[in-house]
Structures are given as C-alpha cells and as structure tokens.
Structure 1
Amino acid sequence: MTVNIWTAADVARKVIDNKELFILDVRNADAFADWKIEGHKFNYLNIPYFELLDGVEEILPQIPTDIEILVVCAKEGSSIMVAELLAEAGLEVAYLEGGMKSWSMYIEPVKVGELSGGGELYQFVRLGKGCLSYMAVNEGEAAIIDAVRFTDVFIKFAEEKGVQIKHVFDTHLHADHISGGRHIASQTGAAYYLPSKDAEEVVFDFTPLTDDLTVKLGNSEIEVGALYSPGHTIGSTSFVIDKKYLLTGDILFIDSIGRPDLAGLADDWVRDLRQTLYSRYRSLAEDLIVLPAHFMIIEELNEDGTVGKRLGDLFVENHGLNVEDEEVFRSMVTDNLPPQPNSYEEIRHVNMGKVTPSNEEQTEMEIGPNRCAVR
C-alpha cells in the first residue's frame, strides 16, 4: 500500500462536510489530551510514536479497516514513519503534511450570509485554534475584524473578490493569538482601529475605536457600528453589521462567555463583564446573529461550517447568560478557570508592538487550543 499525504485543507473539508475519519495521533499523551483535531464524526487512538518503534502489529486490532485513517504528529516526521509501517501491514493510510503545526495555522473562509445591496459577510474559521475572523464586503470595499496573523489569507481573498480593504478592526487586545490587523492595514493603506483603553502600552499608531463609531462600505446603507462592551478586556468592543450580525469578540461565545483574567484584572472587570452581558446585550434586537471571535468545541460549528447563533437563543441556552445571583456569577468567572492560553503574556506584548518574534517563534507561541472562555 502507498502512503497518502493530506493537507490541513483536506482535513478541514472532512470536518466541515461532517465526514467520518479515524485519527491515529502519535504525540505524547499529555499533548493529545490538551489539544487534538476535532471532527463531528472523528474517532481517535493515541499511541506515542516511541511505543511503535518496534512495529505496529500490536495496535492493528484497534485500527478500523472500513473508514479512512490519518496519522498525526506534532510536525510530520513521526507520522510518516508510523504511516509507512501501517501501509506495510496492508492498510491504506495517510499522514497530515506539516503535522499539528500546519493544522494550527490553517484557515477556511466560509460565507456567513448576504448583506444589504449585494454585500456579503465571510467568516474565516481557524479550525485548529478556534479563532474566527471576519470580512464584510460591498461595492468594492471591505472591512476586516479580528484578523489573525496570516495576512496573506485576507489580502488574497480581498483580491479575489475585487475589493479594497478600507478598514481593519481588532475588538480588543488579543492574548491567545497574534493579530494580523495592523500589518494588513500597513500593507493595504487601510485604517487600523483598536480600543484606546486596551492600547495604553502599544508602540504603534492606530485609529481609536470608540463607542458608536460607524463606518460604511461603499455608498450603500451597510454599516459597521461599534458597541463598547468591556469585560474580557477593559476596551472590548463589539460590532453590529448591517443591523443583522453582532460580532462579539471574546465577550460572548456560543456555549460560554469570555474570561476577564488575561490581563490580571479579573476582580476589577467582573462587573463590566456582567453589565455587558446582562444589560448592554439585553437591549439589542434578539434576532441579531451572534458571531464570536472564537469557538471552543466542535459542536459549536453549524452544518455549513460557520459558527453563529441567534442572540435570543443564546439568552435561553447559554449558561453564562443565566446566572441570576451576582456573587455566583463572580465566582464562576474568577474561580476555577481553565488554564490560561499558551504564552499569553508574550502574545499580548507582540500585539502591543513591543516585541517582534520570528515566524517560527510566533507559531510556537500559538500552539495549542484557545482558552478565552469561562468553561
């Protein structure tokens, strides 16, 4: 049998198309437990590759023969070796090109819906990291919100759509991934917006992102309007696009709410978080579709691969929006939080412009799942 090579894009289609897949993950057990490739119909076997150096015979009974098999490791090398052993044993098998490193970086653009006057809204789904970025396009112009560091993905997509990037926003100073926002702006001549309250330590120029700031795309009525919504950070800002979509940054997710502790100020920001979720958002139209900056689990993906849900439904279903007692809420968002994101302090400094690590260093900083939510 020959060994097939799958790219991260190939695996992403399996996730989005809801296909079956068996993954043999040959990383160490702790790495697998912390972070793996998730799919609605994926099954897994985790055997560290060093346990397979003498052969794969003992694990063959645990490997199915009726669904596709993918071998995964951190950076590719170990999975090639194991895949070749499985092929020699008569199995048709593939390995993931670039390993989990490539999975962490892959981005899949998915259309969310139509905007007024022929406009469109796209969600850029970074499946391996749970990051969600956005691009609204209309009449030859585009606005980007919460872009990750892979600037070429957004610039090439805009070129394919025949639109000019005019506005680039970050909803807040990110701590779990490196923003590409200001770099896209510098490459395209777009304005880069960042909340001033999050930007006291940044060392580059930006346009202040203020409450009620509104920009229009083209000459139409499509508006991208800012809504101050602190709590995850003191400057966190949401956006209402075309009176249809609510982009919540890291304040509200589909199955959880944002954590207030990544700048070390959880106790100070709890009241802001509650006011945003239980007051500011409650005053908005319940038909708005919530589009967050992250997702935590694969079940949050819709059938078309997007992540989004009606605000009114979240008021009913999201546990973080249904804690009546303020002290219980405070305890929930300050006590027993999940581990903080990998290298989150260093990532904040990168996003402030204080340090400029190499691409390899940035990749290592971002490895692992996002942990922006209260779980």
Structure 2
Amino acid sequence: MGIQALTAAELAKKVMNQEPLFILDVRNEDEFQDWRVEGKNVEVINKPYFELLDGVDEILDRIPSDKEVLVVCAKEGSSQFVADMLAEADGGDYLYLQGGMKTWSEHIEPVKAADLTDGGELYQFVRIGKGCLSYAVISNGEAAIVDPVRLTDAFASFLEEKQAVLKYAVDTHLHADHISGGRDLAERFGASYLLPEADAGGVTFSYEPLEDGKTLTVGGTEIDIQAMYSPGHTIGSTSLIVDDQYLLTGDILFVDSIGRPDLAGKAEDWVGDLRETLYSRYADLDGDLVVLPAHFSKHEELDDNGLVMAELADLYARNHGLNIEDEAAFRRAVTENLPPQPNAYETIRQTNMGQVEPAEEEKTEMEIGPNRCAVS
C-alpha cells in the first residue's frame, strides 16, 4: 500500500508506448473539459478535489484494480492528497503526477523520425501535453532546430548528447499559441535566428530573413533545407523541405486538419492565401514528401512510434481540409465556427515579437491548455 510520484517524462513514455493507464483528474470540471491527459489506452475520469474532501468512498467502485491508477491535478498537492486517501481506503498502490499538469504541459520528448543522406538524422520533439512539435536536423556535427518552444534546456541537452553545434534556429512563422525559443537558442549558442520577414513587422530584435528559395546547409554532408513561401496561417508562413524528402509545414497543414488564418485578426484577408498554399503550392509538390507539422490536436495523430507524420499524397486523400472543392465553402470552413482561440494568444504574439517580456511563471500560465492552431 502506498503512493508514489510519477514524473511527466515517465507519463509521456507510458502514453507514447500505449500502456494501459487509468487517470483520476481532480481539477475543476471546466479545466478538465478544456484539456486533459489523453492516450490510446488511457481512461480518464474527472472528480473535482473539493468534492472529495470528506472522503473517497463514493468513487472507489470506479477505480479499476487491474490497471495502474494515476491521480492528477493542476500543480501536484491535491492529487497527492487524494492518492493518499485512496491508498488508505482500499490498501492499493497509487501514483500522482509530480508537478501536476504544469509539468505535463512543459515536457518535451525527442523521437527519431528518420535517417537522412550520408549519416544525417531528423528528430521530432513532441511536447505531448501541449501538442507542439519541433524538429532537429543533424549532420556532421552541425544542427538546425525548427520551431523550438521556449523550454530550451531540452534542446541544449539534446545538442550536448549529439555533440552537435547549433547553426540555425528557425521559426516557420510568428507563433500565437506558444512562446518561441528560437531567439533564446540562437543567442545561447551563437547561431543564426531565422524568421519570415513578412511576419516580422513588429519585432524588436535582429533576425535573418527566412525567404522563399533560401537554402540552409547543415553539416559537411550538405543536407539542404529549402524554404518555400506558404502563407495562410500567417502572411509570412514558410515551409521547409528537408533533404528532398520531408516537408515541415509549420501551422499550415496538419495530419488531421489545416491551419486557421484568424490568430492575427486577418481571417478574411488571409483565407485566399491559405487556399492558394494548400490547393496549389502544396498540390504541385511530390506526393511522396512526408509532412511534419508544428502541432497536433489529438493523441490519435501519433503513430505507434510516437511520431506525428504522413505522406502528402495520403493527406490529399483523407484530410477534409484539402478536399473542399467549392471556394466559398472553404472560406466558410476556415473563418466560421472555429474552436476557441489559444490562451493569451495576443500576449504570446507580442512576446514572440519582443514587445513584452513576461515573468517565467506568467509564461507558464499563458501556455497552459491545448493546441488551438487548427481549424478543427
């Protein structure tokens, strides 16, 4: 009998390995409905902490005996208390999430996505609790990191492990749902920071323009990263083609949806650009290119290896956002009845432009919650 802490990293392994797990989430119902831990073999129920202060007897019959049971809350304290009550009530073993959903939001898991030309490697960094995806291209001791989040220690540890020097930190667009770590990484390692110029109108810092047709060479094996202008989510959105095999789409195209054009208040202005990118620019590309987006919305988008990826031709066959033939219908689909906008998205945009600098605790609170960059 007893309770034990489970770290966010350990939880991520269980979710990505599709291990059976039962979760009792003791946050308030509105927080639970907005965002929770999800996975293929994860069962989750919600019972707010304040309803359990007098005891846990009323939920004991809902707790399985054949699975690991994890109790989660916002910051740890309430889940530890409830886990202890459950252990005392039935003599079982219970886990609680160390650091609560805050740590779940911030955990980053690097997953190898592919081997590239002449010994190069491509990694996808899965921020599983937030739905953010970043990438590292490594070749011959050099690296480029694309769409890094603000939690830059994860990338620094990775570079140290791989004994790679950071050459480029790249943002495919000005992000609105999370704070970029691109500038911080570039300053930390003396690398170049690249941002599309059309998205940089209000920035307060220096950057290298990420331009259509620009080629970034990583390592002596010359794994080319080719920039391709692909507006629509933002006016500057730029995709990257890596090693002629992989298409990093930023927030333009996802595995299960397409990007929304409204996070800068420009939906009506940018919807035409979005359609042009998806229905013309991308349609002219090789269908064998593997799409690697900057976000995912549902755990079902992760494959059995814990990666989010799909061939472009496959997405044209099954992604609803790529199959709306009528232009007026497409316009309605991406401008009306959209999901709620990301938490603090305007402040996040200002932060990414260098116009404001919130405290670390405030940054954490700004990013709490799910990814909301997709149309649906």
> 1:348 is matched with which residue?
349
> 1:92 is matched with which residue?
93
- Whichever residue aligns with residue 307 of structure 1, its letter is V
Number of aligned positions between the proteins: 375
Alignment pair present for 1:58 and 2:26? no
> 2:73 is matched with which residue?
73
Q: Which string of whole-angstrom CA distances, capped at 9 and with x for unpartnered residues, describes residues 121-140 of structure 1? A: 00000000000000000001
1:145, 1:316 → 2: CA distance? 27
> 2:189 is matched with which residue?
188
> 2:328 is matched with which residue?
327
> 2:297 is matched with which residue?
296
Cα distance, 1:209 vs. partner?
Answer: 0.8
2:170, 2:201 → 1: CA distance? 17
1:251, 1:28 → 2: CA distance? 33
Which deviates more from structure 2 when the two are superposed, residues 257-266 or residues 210-219?
Answer: 210-219
SS in structure 1 of the partner of residue 221 of structure 2: coil
SS in structure 1 of the partner of residue 95 of structure 2: strand
SS in structure 2 of the partner of residue 283 of structure 1: coil
Q: Which string of whole-angstrom CA distances, capped at 9 and with x for unpartnered residues, describes residues 239-284 of structure 1? A: 0000010000000000000000000000000000000000000111
2:287, 2:189 → 1: CA distance? 36
> 1:255 is matched with which residue?
256
> 1:198 is matched with which residue?
199
> 1:214 is matched with which residue?
215
Alignment pair present for 1:2 and 2:12? no
- Whichever residue aligns with residue 201 of structure 2, its letter is E
2:356, 2:332 → 1: CA distance? 35
> 1:232 is matched with which residue?
233
- Whichever residue aligns with residue 76 of structure 2, its letter is E
Cα distance, 1:219 vs. partner?
Answer: 2.1
Alignment pair present for 1:176 and 2:177? yes
Alignment pair present for 1:103 and 2:67? no
> 2:128 is matched with which residue?
127
SS in structure 2 of the partner of residue 348 of structure 1: helix
- Whichever residue aligns with residue 245 of structure 1, its letter is Y
SS in structure 2 of the partner of residue 373 of structure 1: coil
SS in structure 1 of the partner of residue 74 of structure 2: coil
Q: Which string of whole-angstrom CA distances, capped at 9 and with x for unpartnered residues, describes residues 200-246 of structure 1? A: 00000000111010011122231011000000000000000000100
SS in structure 2 of the partner of residue 60 of structure 1: helix
SS in structure 2 of the partner of residue 282 of structure 1: coil
- Whichever residue aligns with residue 142 of structure 2, its letter is E
1:149, 1:36 → 2: CA distance? 21
> 1:14 is matched with which residue?
14
Cα distance, 1:358 vs. partner?
Answer: 1.1
- Whichever residue aligns with residue 344 of structure 1, its letter is Y
1:59, 1:208 → 2: CA distance? 56
- Whichever residue aligns with residue 91 of structure 1, its letter is G
2:105, 2:181 → 1: CA distance? 15
1:155, 1:75 → 2: CA distance? 26
Alignment of 1:260-271 (within 5 A): 260-271=261-272
SS in structure 1 of the partner of residue 291 of structure 2: strand
SS in structure 1 of the partner of residue 226 of structure 2: strand
What's the TM-score, normalizing by structure 2?
0.99
- Whichever residue aligns with residue 204 of structure 1, its letter is F
**Runs of 5+ unmatched residues, structure 1:** none
> 2:40 is matched with which residue?
40
2:157, 2:222 → 1: CA distance? 26
1:52, 1:157 → 2: CA distance? 42
- Give the root-mean-square deviation of aligned CA atoms: 0.5
Cα distance, 1:152 vs. partner?
Answer: 1.2
> 1:25 is matched with which residue?
25
SS in structure 2 of the partner of residue 320 of structure 1: helix
What's the TM-score, normalizing by structure 1?
0.99
SS in structure 2 of the partner of residue 173 of structure 1: coil
1:19, 1:94 → 2: CA distance? 15
